């Protein structure tokens, strides 16, 4: 399980890509499946921007269940 809370404030979509790449031990630019093939990254960023901190979005990407929380946390759990 990976937990990414970036030091700056990158968009949620960037946090997801970085967390997955970190979990797979690859550079984010080396991911062969762009995030935009599984979710609209602009919509992801817009949906959580300004939402209450208890909201979240869940989807699968690269074999992980991704939970993006309204507080900026990205949590990955390996799909079984």
pLDDT of residue 29: 95
Spatial CB neighbours of 26, under 8 Å, sequence gap ≥ 6: none
Judged on CB neighbours under 10 Å (0-12, 13-18, 19+), 74 is: buried
Q: Where are the beta strands (DSSP E) in the chain?
A: 2-4, 56-61, 64-69, 74-78
CB 75 within 8 A of CB 3: yes
* Domain map (residue ranges) of the chain: 2-78
pLDDT of residue 72: 85
pTM, two decimals, is 0.84
Tokens linked to 29: 């630019």
pLDDT band at residue 6 using 50, 70 and 90 as cut-offs = very low
47 three-state secondary structure: helix
- With a cut of 80, say whether residue 1 has pLDDT above it: no
46-77, pLDDT tens digit by residue?
887 766 677 889 999 999 999 998 888 999 99
14-33, pLDDT tens digit by residue?
999 999 999 999 999 999 99
CB 17 within 8 A of CB 28: yes
């Amino acid at each position: 399980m990976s937990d990414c809370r970036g030091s700056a404030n990158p968009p949620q979509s960037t946090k997801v890509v970085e967390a997955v790449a970190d979990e797979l031990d690859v550079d984010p630019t080396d991911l062969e499946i762009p995030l935009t093939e599984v979710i609209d990254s602009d919509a992801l960023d817009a949906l959580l921007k300004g939402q209450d901190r208890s909201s979240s979005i869940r989807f699968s990407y690269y074999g992980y269940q991704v939970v993006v929380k309204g507080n900026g946390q990205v949590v990955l759990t390996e799909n079984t």
